Amino acid sequence: MDLLDDNLAYETKVKKVFNSKSSINLILKMYISSNKDILQIKRNPSDSRIKEFYITR
């Protein structure tokens, strides 16, 4: 399932995803009253081409 427009280039999609991550992090920081990022990115252990978002503890 792709939430972004199919006509966008790969690099544009990556930029939009990272901008969205930053926006979500900013909102979460505000609600949690934290200075650390809540969402982090890591590579999938089985396929290093895939990046996954995870929530820090």
Q: Where are the domains of the chain?
A: 10-55
d(CA 35, CA 25): 10
pLDDT of residue 2: 60
| pLDDT in 10s for each residue of the chain, 57 residues | 467 778 888 888 888 888 989 999 999 999 988 888 889 989 999 988 888 888 987
d(CA 9, CA 31): 33
pLDDT of residue 4: 72
Say which residues have a Cβ less than 8 Å from residue 53's Cβ, sequence separation at least 6: 21, 39, 40, 41
Give this prediction's pTM: 0.72
